[in-house]
Amino acid sequence: MGSGRWSTNVYDAAARFRAATGASAFAHSDGGATTVHPLLDPRDVMRESRDSREHQQSLAIAVLFDVTGSMRRVPRALQAKLPQLLGLLLRHGYADHPQIMFGAIGDATCDRAPLQVGQFESDNRMDDDLGRILLEGGGGGQKTESYELALYFMARHTAIDCHDKRGKRGYLFVIGDEMAYPRVKRAEVRQVIGEGLQADIPLAEIVGEVRRTWDAYYILPEGASYAGDRQVLHFWRGLLGQNVIELADPDAVCETIALTVGLGEAAIDLDEGLADLRDVGSPAGATVSKALATIGSGRSTLVVAAPPPDLSRPGGNIRL
């Protein structure tokens, strides 16, 4: 996938049509659906970001968000600001050929849609994929969701030319407010992804696999159920180090993603990125500046962290 080019005019026309007809940008979910849309079903699929004549230097960007509980606000904020995200990436030269995949994370122990994954797209079909996401709003109530299942999919069910051809990692953003379960469970993989595993996979091991191909970030937005929770922050920092971003305003998620990519691509430093936000009229500069203060001006060093010391405890909880 990944052909075509993004058009803000097409996006605006679709938004005007929805406003005139009363349609929702999330028609699948708001229309009463209770199951994963067939085009976002992760079972027996690979998601590919490939070079083409149009996009000879493709760059894979994956954005996966928790859609349980209070996190359901995030995809709506993403959809509303897609033009700003693409505008910063393209018009400001952060990435010439981004191919973006959107997906959603729930809880495989209890949700009907524990994992949803779209295609990597360069054009307005990425907006279509957002509209197909089921905003289930469930979750297990244990301060854990099935992030590890999503990480397994990203490690073993994606193929990206930026890495395979050029040795350049793609960007993975996981947006959530809870912890992962301590291991990828073979029964859940079989049920959700349709593949047989010989044994469960420890969380730290699958994170290591992911980080060989993906420059992975975890974004914890303010207003979520566990925003600022020390246990959750300690958990993810033990796995991803400085690539854990606390975001004071969930509405700034697009700007945060765009500037993180710009920094990683060495297309800007943080001050230049904040100036770009002012140029496009974004009020998110102060929020993004604080959120990205620890990221620095270049890609983070790849360090596969050891798991926090008590991931093997029931539920993977950490005692501070």
Instruction: Give the model's confidence band at 311: pLDDT under 50 very low, under 70 low, under 90 confident, else very high.
Output: very low
Alpha carbon of residue 134 to chain centroid = 15
Summarised one tens digit per residue, pLDDT across range 231-251 is 999 999 999 999 999 999 988
pLDDT, mean over the chain: 87
Where residue 2 falls among pLDDT bands split at 50, 70, 90? low
**And the tokens for 25?**
């940008």
Domain boundaries, the chain: 8-316
pLDDT of residue 305: 40
* Digit-coded pLDDT (tens) for 155-181: 999 999 999 999 999 999 999 999 999
Which segments of 32-152 are extended strands (E)? 47-49, 59-66, 98-105, 115-117, 144-145
Distance, in Å, from the CA atom of 188 to the CA atom of 82, rounded to the nearest integer, reads: 32
Element (H, E) at 221: strand 214-221
Check whether 310 has a pLDDT greater than 50. no
Task: List Cβ neighbours of 124 (8 Å cut-off, separation of 6 or more).
Answer: 4, 6, 7, 10, 11, 14
Strand spans (E) along 78-128: 98-105, 115-117
For the chain, the farthest-separated pair of C-alpha atoms sits apart, in whole angstroms, at: 54
CATH of region 8-316, choose from 3.40.50.410, 3.90.1150.10, 3.40.50.10710, 1.20.58.1910:
3.40.50.410
The vertex-154 CA angle with 150 and 158, nearest 5°, equals: 140
Asked if 127 contacts 28 with a C-beta cutoff of 8 angstroms, the reply is no
**Do the beta carbons of residue 216 and residue 210 sit within 8 Å?**
yes
Q: What is the pLDDT of residue 319?
A: 27
Residue identified by tokens 């922050």 is 233
What are the φ/ψ torsions at residue 264 (nearest 5 degrees)? -65, -35
Residue count of the chain: 320
* Model pLDDT, residue 206: 98
List the end-to-end C-alpha distance of the chain, in Å, as a whole number.
Answer: 44
Looking at residue 78, what is its pLDDT?
81
Reported confidence tier of residue 153, pLDDT bands at 50, 70, 90 = very high
Give 201-219 pLDDT, tens digit per residue: 999 999 999 999 999 999 9
Element (H, E) at 149: helix 147-156
Using CB atoms within 10 A of its CB, is residue 242 exposed (0-12), middle (13-18) or buried (19+)? middle
Place of tokens 């996006």: 11
User: Is pTM, for the whole model, over 0.85?
Assistant: yes
* 20 has a pLDDT exceeding 80: yes
Residue range 102-119: mean pLDDT, rounded: 94
